[in-house]
Structure 1
């Protein structure tokens, strides 16, 4: 079975606009995204950077537009665009994008959506999107920056943390989906860097039984960690700890595209970079991951970049991994 993650970047300037364009079928980036998805042909696809809604209409419309057998969809809105009521960036102005619980103009902007050819066990979905940052295990919450009122309300998750069970033949497969905050655009308090690290760490704590629930079946962690193991900003040790966790396999997907676009100032293997950003900073980075549990067999993996005339429309590669049950 082929499992893929793609930060597709299909966002618009207001709620409902992406749904409208999907229905109208005349936007170049939507059509190019469809062509790339059909080319890679995943059985399960998690997309990020995709405007979602409370009822899942946009995800369902996109699945119908793809016409690729994605019978099952799941999406929710995360904490992006939710007004906090506070001046979180301390610039003297309230109600800006920076003052939302996660940066954004409206709820659901740049969210997550799951498309699957396998049945989604919707009644068994678990989310940690409402977990308070200060309540997370080993939290790095910056109490010296946020007020007591802010600390009592500030969520950890930005776009969402989901555990979505899939019925895979006779097996239940849990998809651990997320997109973490970017570890930049803050000050010496490093609130975004700390939040990014704690969003990644949440899955390690989940695997180690430090949350109210834990893994009970084979799983795949998938999403945009917004953190490279070596290069760029952020607390690199947190993604390294996740990649080296005893219950996880890193398939190390690669592509020649990254080698062609490599940044000579970076130390990581450019073939494994998944985001093509401006040079020299932040440059190309490995930030997108599909990480099967150790009790699954990895058949093959790769990074699939959009090539040709539409390559400039997308800054991320699709990460895909073929998995099978252990013999």
Structure 2
């Protein structure tokens, strides 16, 4: 990823955040604490980008039926960390929910090598996503509609080679109020006040013609508000997976979209009466002012490093309804960050805060977030990224992302 220069105010803001994280006295946990059973009055919430996707429709189902080593490692990590509620990003969606059924029955219900006891999630939520769904429009501006090979994903509502690729799956130990769940898959990008419409820098004109812009959906996958009935009350699990702010041109259409996908949650927790913020069932408005929530997802935006409009994630982290707490950290991430720094890939962010390893061209970044609302008390957090030589390293390499968890009371 090529980093864009950050304005002075942003660098100053990031420095304050990093300083606060370094000196924060709120409790956080080491990697080994992730396996410590949570107290009865504690809720463990997690995000895990599993990379359980396939380039062919039905491909993930076929792999799970045959027995998949990657899926076994993913299940082992979940059995070790044992979150009460978890969002799995990049888990292919199928209308029959066959992949989700197989993952629970053949992987989570079975003790895995390096894992713990079987982990049963009696409740789950999954729904269609925009990835791989043909738009019938020329969204990448190449003069063609559809395309062939890998390029055919560019004109889908969200990049994907088949409908459901890179989907989302919520697993919960507690009941989910599906009737009250809200999805924002169809929300038009242009409906958002002040939307960052991509512009052609050479001509100063919009990248998307008006006829396309008026139809373009904001969410590259979907945005879900999933109400979960925990023992201490309703928790609104606000989950998404914004597009990476890369793989575009000078118009920066993916960078703009990523920023506004993150901004959607900022607006959702700020504007209870927002008339433009309408879900797929036609219900309009944001989250009630007294509701408790956790925002979770691979948001594809590091606060200070990599590509993207960092102001988008910083403004979410600093929202008055988002709980101030220690940033989840890991020994493995810190070690990898320092390894990259020694090779010349230096970052401004705290080495221990990274959540994924994206190779020698990009390095390690913090992209995955679990952000509770005020009203909770933080009881611990971490990134499941063991230090080299730890016994758990054998299961921690299942994905280029690592599971992030937060304990709440």
| TM-score with structure 2 setting the length | 0.76
> How far has the Cα of 1:39 moved from its partner?
0.7
Partner of 2:60: 18
Contact 1:219 1:292 in 2 (8 A): yes
The answer to whether 1:62 aligns with 2:124 is no
Deviations 1:264-298 (A, max 9, x none): 3210001110110112x321110100000011111
The answer to whether 1:30 aligns with 2:71 is yes
Contact 1:259 1:271 in 2 (8 A): yes
**Consecutive aligned runs of 4 or more in structure 1 exceeding 4 Å deviation:** none
Partner of 2:187: 131
Partner of 1:237: 311
Deviations 1:170-211 (A, max 9, x none): 511100000000001111111000000000000010111143
> How far has the Cα of 1:148 moved from its partner?
1.8
Partner of 1:258: 333
**How far apart in 2 are the matches of 1:170 and 1:283?**
40
Partner of 1:269: 350
> How far has the Cα of 1:310 moved from its partner?
4.7
Partner of 1:246: 320
Contact 2:385 2:393 in 1 (8 A): no
Unaligned stretches of 5+ residues in structure 1: none
Contact 2:245 2:256 in 1 (8 A): yes
**How far apart in 2 are the matches of 1:70 and 1:137?**
39
1:313 to 395, 398, 402: 398
The structure where strand makes up a greater share of residues is 1
1:285 to 335, 353, 365: 365
**How far apart in 2 are the matches of 1:35 and 1:140?**
41
Partner of 2:171: 115
> How far has the Cα of 1:245 moved from its partner?
0.5
Contact 1:255 1:302 in 2 (8 A): yes
Aligned partner of residue 357 in structure 2, secondary structure: coil
- Bigger mean CA deviation after superposition, 118-127 or 78-87: 78-87
Structure with larger Rg: 2
Partner of 2:81: 40
1:214 to 286, 291, 304: 286
Contact 1:251 1:291 in 2 (8 A): no
Contact 2:77 2:396 in 1 (8 A): no
**How far apart in 2 are the matches of 1:313 and 1:259?**
18
The answer to whether 1:140 aligns with 2:196 is yes
Unaligned stretches of 5+ residues in structure 2: 1-42, 110-118, 147-151, 200-205, 278-283, 387-391
> How far has the Cα of 1:129 moved from its partner?
1.3
The answer to whether 1:168 aligns with 2:230 is yes
> How far has the Cα of 1:63 moved from its partner?
2.3
Aligned partner of residue 365 in structure 2, secondary structure: coil
**How far apart in 2 are the matches of 1:92 and 1:132?**
22
- Bigger mean CA deviation after superposition, 217-226 or 206-215: 206-215
Contact 1:56 1:74 in 2 (8 A): no
> How far has the Cα of 1:94 moved from its partner?
3.1
> How far has the Cα of 1:82 moved from its partner?
1.1
Change (3 A) 1:22 1:167: same
Aligned partner of residue 291 in structure 1, secondary structure: strand
> How far has the Cα of 1:312 moved from its partner?
4.1
The within-5 A match list for 1:127-206 is 127-142=183-198, 144-169=206-231, 171-206=233-268
- Bigger mean CA deviation after superposition, 132-141 or 51-60: 51-60
Contact 2:303 2:366 in 1 (8 A): yes
Higher normalized contact order (CA 8 Å, seq sep 6+, divided by chain length): 2
Contact 2:295 2:369 in 1 (8 A): yes
Contact 2:321 2:374 in 1 (8 A): yes
